[in-house]
């Protein structure tokens, strides 16, 4: 990957979200897309999740979640929804591997942290595996990546709920190219 432009904050380099997004669109636009979902919204807060989806299989390969309060700072008074979406994008792109040499936090999140002088709030959402989309994704993997260790590590890194049933489905997909017929779509 080419070196992305960074901004230095207290000795650490951060990649701004617009640079991560531009790199994503230029490099991966035909294979992956990004979907933003509002998980919860009140008159004063919002919780947003961005997901990077493999277009062919529909499998979620990375997510990012962000929470913002309308009155937490001057900027958020009029733009807390937009700021939450931008932060969620930055975290999803970081989870995808773009602009994370110094950490997943974006320049914007770090600046917001400094402005508020408080801990940046994040939420990790554990998600169930969509078995049908997952099996398509496994089938499309290069042979070298079709192994339990690689696939389980991917699921853990992306906050998927890994049950014994899912492990068996992975084993079956690797050995037979088939899913466990008793596995239900989640």
Same domain, 63 and 89: yes
pLDDT at 142: 74
What residue ranges of the chain have pLDDT lower than 50? 1, 118-120, 178-186
- Is 76 strand, coil or helix? helix
Q: 21 with 79, same domain?
A: yes
Q: Is residue 60 part of a domain?
A: yes
Per-residue pLDDT, 143: 78
Across the chain, the runs of DSSP E, i.e. the strands, are 7-9, 12-14, 32-41, 45-54, 60-69
pLDDT of residue 15: 79
Structural domain contains residue 123: no
Q: In whole angstroms, how far apart are CA 154 and each of 40, 142, 162? A: 27, 14, 11
Vertex 26 angle, CA 21 and 29, to 5°: 90
What does the alpha-carbon distance between residue 104 and residue 93 come to, in Å, rounded to a whole number?
9
Task: Please tell me the predicted confidence (pLDDT) of residue 183.
Answer: 43
Contact status, residue 124 vs residue 159, Cβ threshold 8 Å: yes
Same domain, 72 and 39: yes
150 within a domain of the structure (yes/no): yes
- Token reading at 44: 């004063």
End-of-domain residue from the set 116, 139, 163: 116
- Give the domain extent around 66: 7-116
Within a domain: 2: no
- What is the predicted pLDDT for the residue at 6? 76
Considering the entire predicted model, what is its pTM? Answer: 0.56
């Amino acid at each position: 990957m080419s070196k992305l432009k960074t901004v230095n904050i207290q000795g650490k380099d951060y990649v701004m979200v617009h640079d991560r997004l531009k790199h994503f669109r230029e490099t991966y636009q035909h294979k992956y897309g990004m979907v933003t979902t509002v998980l919860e919204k009140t008159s004063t807060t919002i919780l947003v999740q961005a997901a990077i989806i493999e277009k062919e299989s529909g499998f979620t390969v990375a997510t990012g979640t962000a929470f913002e309060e309308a009155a937490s700072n001057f900027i958020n008074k009029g733009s807390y929804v937009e700021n939450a979406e931008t932060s969620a994008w930055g975290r999803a792109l970081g989870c995808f591997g773009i602009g994370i040499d110094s950490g997943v936090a974006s320049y914007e999140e770090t600046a917001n942290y400094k402005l508020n002088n408080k801990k940046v709030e994040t939420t990790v959402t554990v998600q169930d595996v969509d078995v049908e989309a997952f099996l398509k994704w496994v089938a499309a993997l290069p042979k070298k990546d079709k192994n339990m260790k690689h696939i389980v590590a991917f699921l853990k890194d992306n906050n998927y709920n890994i049950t014994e049933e899912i492990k068996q489905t992975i084993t079956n997909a690797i050995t037979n190219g088939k899913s466990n017929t008793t596995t239900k779509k989640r």
